[in-house]
Amino acid sequence: MILAHTYPAALCLMLLSMVCWGSWANTYKMAGKWRFELFYFDYAIGVLAAAVLFAFTAGSLGFDGFSFQDDLMHASKHAWLFGFGAGVIFNLANMLLVAAIAVAGLAVAFPVAIGLALVIGVVWNYLILPQGNPMLLFSGCAIVVGAIILDSMAYRSLELIKLVQLARAGKARSTRLEVSPKGLILSLASGLLMGSFYPLVEQGKKGDLGLGPYAIGFVFALGIFLSTFVFNLFFMNLPVEGPPVEMLEYFRGGWRQHLLGLAGGLIWCTGTIANFVAASTPPEVQVGPAISYALGQGATMVSALWGILVWKEFAGADTKVKALVAAMLGLFVCGLALVSIAPLFPAGH
């Protein structure tokens, strides 16, 4: 199988992961009024198809003679279970994230959900495999928490501005100005789950009977694909927004909407495999799962910029809201920078 054997190669893979994880949700935005529950079926198919493609190409080539199939059969059933379980947990978190995007937009859902996931993931992964300076790691996490708070404040302020504008235009349902916390609640629930799956991935790769990056990527994708049909029944019958959705609506979708869902899954899975491979580099050049996971979460910045600059999700914001958003982005950059340089300054040196 093809692996990264140098730090620059691992770094390039992590940057690719960051771009893919931060950009795939644009395919959902491009689908227009297509319900996220229907979009997600194609997304799950795209994830599994991409995982199979990588497994039988990059996961089966190279000079080591150890293919994806060998890796899969060599691993223990416990490793399979950890990888599959991680996919199921991630999938519920990701569906909540897409639901939050449908309600609140990219610029709110990603910073809150993925920012919280970053904090939880870094802590869990550091407990599993301590690498990097803990002072820098956890200081970076604290700064990210501050960014989440600022983003929540900006979202609330923007929603209040919109409600005031509707009230003045006589279009508000009520003269009482209240901001629905639904988008933030969905984002926080997503973040709590999103930060919990990566330690299971590491457990699935651990030891002589653990899965390699391509094999665990396949098992992980299988967990996503199969659990989608369970979780989506709940979201379709008890939707977070709009009326319940019937399965027949999926078959009424246009080819463009289906292709966008498949593309979203392909882009996300590409970033995931890149992240798994980067975290599986040899010990002498390894950046560690905590750092790899944290850098992957730089996707938050990418997605927030998509939401702000391309989708204009903060259009109409006043100076206060714009200042909060700018401060949020600045804190995220600082927090991610501290996490990124943590391996360069080991504890005790």
Query: Is 45 a domain residue?
Result: yes
Burial 251-269 (b: 16+ CB within 10 A, else e): eebeeebbebbbbbbbbbb
pTM: 0.87
Residue 15 lies in a domain: yes
- Helical spans, DSSP H, in the chain: 7-23, 26-30, 36-56, 68-74, 77-104, 106-128, 134-168, 182-194, 197-205, 213-237, 248-251, 255-278, 289-296, 299-305, 319-341
* Structural domain range at position 331: 7-344
- Asked whether residue 1 is assigned to any structural domain, the reply reads no
Note whether residue 134 is domain-resident. Answer: yes
Per-10-residue mean pLDDT, the chain, length 349: 84 88 94 95 98 94 77 93 97 95 87 85 77 85 88 87 78 53 90 88 90 96 98 94 94 96 97 89 69 68 88 88 92 84 69
Residue (of 204, 182, 218) closest to 57 by Cα position:
218
How many domains does the chain divide into?
A: 1
Predicted confidence at residue 348, as pLDDT, reads 59
Residue 147 lies in a domain: yes
278 assigned to some structural domain? yes
307 located within any domain: yes
Q: For residue 176, what pLDDT is reported?
A: 46
Does 33 reside within a domain? yes
